[in-house]
Structure 1
Amino acid sequence: MTEFSSILSTSNVRGAYRSSQELSGTPVPAEPAATGDSFAEILKGATANTVGNIRDAEAVAHKGLVGEVSTQQVVEATLELESTVKMMVSMRDKVVEAYQEIMRMPI
C-alpha cells in the first residue's frame, strides 16, 4: 500500500493550488525569494526602525504638548511606542539568551 505522504508531494500540491488559482482569476503570490541578508543586517534594520519609531512618537508627544495634534493621536503614538519598546526588549532578551547558551557550550 502506498503511503499518503508519497502521493502528495509538495510540488504537486503547489501545482494544483496554482492551477486552481488561475482558474478562479485570483493572482497567485510569488515564491518568497531569498534576500541573502545577514543576521547583523536584519538586526541593524530592526534597530534603525525602532529608533525611528521612538523619534516619531516623541515628535507627536511634543506636538501634543504644544496643541498641534489631538490627544487621540498622542495616545496612539504612545501605544505604538510601548509596543515597539516591548518588542525590542524581547529581541534583546533573546539575543542575550542565545549568547549565554553559546557560552555554555563545550568546546
Structure 2
Amino acid sequence: MTDASFIRPELAIEAAYGKAKSLSGDAAAVAPAEGPSFGDMIRDAASSAAQTVRLGDATAAAGLTEKAGLQQVVEATMAMESTVRVSVALRDKLVDAYKDIMNMPI
C-alpha cells in the first residue's frame, strides 16, 4: 500500500473535500428546485382528503333517500374509509417523527 491515507486519515479527508469542492462549483449558482413546496403539497392532500370524505358522506345521505344507488354508496364509503385510514396513518407517523425529534439530544 503506497497510499498514506491509512496512516494519516486527515490526508484522505482533505483529498475527498478537495474533490467534492471541485465538483460542486459555485454553490450560489445552484437554483432551487421548481415546483410546489412541501406545505403546498400537504395542504392540497388535506383538501383532497376532506373533499373525499364530504363526497362519501353526501353519497351516503343520498343513498338513504334513494337518490343514489347501492353501488355508488358502497364505492363512496370505501373511498372515504381508505382516505381516513391513510390520514390516520400519516398523522401517526408525523407524531412519531415529532416525538423522535423532541427526544434527540442537543
> TM-score scaled by structure 2?
0.65
Unaligned runs of 5+ in 2: 1-32
Q: Which residue is equivalent to 1:52? A: 51
Query: What amino acid is the match of 1:103?
Result: M
* Distance (Å, rounded) in 2 between the aligned partners of 1:95 and 1:40: 14
**What is the aligned-residue RMSD (CA, Å)?**
1.2
Greater alpha carbon shift after TM alignment, 85-94 vs 39-48: 39-48
Unaligned runs of 5+ in 1: 1-33
Deviation for aligned residue 1:35: 4.3
* Distance (Å, rounded) in 2 between the aligned partners of 1:105 and 1:38: 26
> Is structure 2 residue 95 aligned with structure 1 residue 96?
yes
Deviation for aligned residue 1:40: 2.0
What's the secondary structure of 2:88's corresponding residue? helix
Total equivalences in the alignment: 74
- Residues 28-67 of structure 1, C-alpha deviations (whole Å, 9 max, x = no match): xxxxxx5443322221111111100011001111110111
Q: Which residue is equivalent to 1:85? A: 84
- Residues 66-98 of structure 1, C-alpha deviations (whole Å, 9 max, x = no match): 111111110111111110000000110111011
**Could you say which structure has the larger radius of gyration?**
2
* Distance (Å, rounded) in 2 between the aligned partners of 1:69 and 1:35: 43
Identity, in percent, stands at 45
Q: Which residue is equivalent to 2:105? A: 106
What's the secondary structure of 2:105's corresponding residue? coil
